[in-house]
Amino acid sequence: MIIVTGASKGLGRVICERLISKNFEVLGIARNPENLPFPSVRCDVSSYDDLKAVVQNLKRDKVRLDGLINAAGIASMNLAVTTPKNVSENIINTNLLGTIYSCQLFAPVMLRNKAGSIINFSTIAVALGLKGESIYAASKAGVEGFSRAFAREMADFNIKVNCIAPGPINTSLLKGITSKQIENIVAQQVIQKQFNPETVADLVEVLLDEKSHSLSGQVLHVGGV
């Protein structure tokens, strides 16, 4: 089974649909999973207790967990000095703590088989230090640092941990960003084009495949920086 957080929309949903089309068994995690066309469970990744309940059900059912994809994420494009405290906390709790909690709780299920792939999500905003995305970038820089260290912790158990860091992908996270701003970001990429969610799903497939067994502790930028 592959667990995908943030499964109700955006990259998470596209990834779930892609994996199901490739005959993977998928369980989506989302705050609002109603009417999703694949197995899903209600869970807020910023809640350790919510995630723990999902893990307990997996253990009870003796599920073999082969992959974890932490696609849940939120953003608020604003200058740091004008970002409200509750917004900052929500971004950090969802993006950084949500990823950490998920890895802490789901990785032990993988340890039974000494195999698996964990894919976390960062952003081009970390590498480029994008204006107006400082809080969002901070949360994702934390994800990158955690993922590198966690990859070393998991290496002895044959579990690889990597990050995907997309540029501007056409999802709801781009709400509030003008087309001119998107063009400016794309112009700083090595490959100067805006990619779609399906391109990210392609990379997820690669990282889940056993052929990528030599890749761990990496941050892979969609479009390049």
Domains for the chain: give ranges and CATH numbers: 2-222 (3.40.50.720)
Nearest CA-CA partner of 191 in 220, 216, 211? 220
Neighbouring CB atoms inside 10 A of 160's CB total: 24
- Whether the pLDDT of residue 187 is over 70: the answer is yes
Position 177 scores a pLDDT of 77
Between the CA of residue 63 and those of 54, 58, 95, 201, 209, what are the distances in Å?
11, 5, 26, 24, 19
pLDDT digits (tens, 9 = 90+) for 63-74: 999 999 999 999
Tokens of residue 178, six digits: 């003008």
**Separation CA 83–CA 135 (nearest Å):** 8
pLDDT band at 118 (very low <50, low <70, confident <90, very high): very high
- Whether the pLDDT of residue 173 is over 80: the answer is no
Nearest CA-CA partner of 120 in 134, 106, 135? 106
Q: Please, how many CA atoms are within 13 Å of residue 42, restricted to the half-sphere of its CB?
A: 3
pLDDT band at 55 (very low <50, low <70, confident <90, very high): very high
Position 178 scores a pLDDT of 80
Position 149 scores a pLDDT of 98
**Separation CA 107–CA 115 (nearest Å):** 10
Position 181 scores a pLDDT of 85
**Separation CA 43–CA 1 (nearest Å):** 17
pLDDT digits (tens, 9 = 90+) for 134-161: 999 999 999 999 999 999 999 999 999 9
Model pTM score: 0.95
Q: What is the percent of the chain with per-residue pLDDT over 90, rounded to a whole number?
A: 87
**Separation CA 206–CA 184 (nearest Å):** 29
**Separation CA 13–CA 117 (nearest Å):** 19
Nearest CA-CA partner of 161 in 182, 143, 137, 183? 143
pLDDT band at 206 (very low <50, low <70, confident <90, very high): very high
Mean pLDDT of 184-212: 94
Reduce the DSSP state of residue 124 to 3 states and report it: helix
84 contact partners, CB below 8 Å, separation of at least 6: none
Mean pLDDT of 167-174: 78
Position 76 scores a pLDDT of 87
**Separation CA 181–CA 191 (nearest Å):** 17
Mean pLDDT score across all residues of the chain: 95
- Whether the pLDDT of residue 175 is over 80: the answer is no
pLDDT band at 176 (very low <50, low <70, confident <90, very high): low
* Orientation angle between helical segments 197-208 and 10-21, nearest 10 degrees: 50
Neighbouring CB atoms inside 10 A of 149's CB total: 12
- Whether the pLDDT of residue 180 is over 90: the answer is no
- Whether the pLDDT of residue 6 is over 70: the answer is yes
Residue 36 near residue 28 (C-beta atoms within 8 A): yes
Mean pLDDT of 74-88: 94
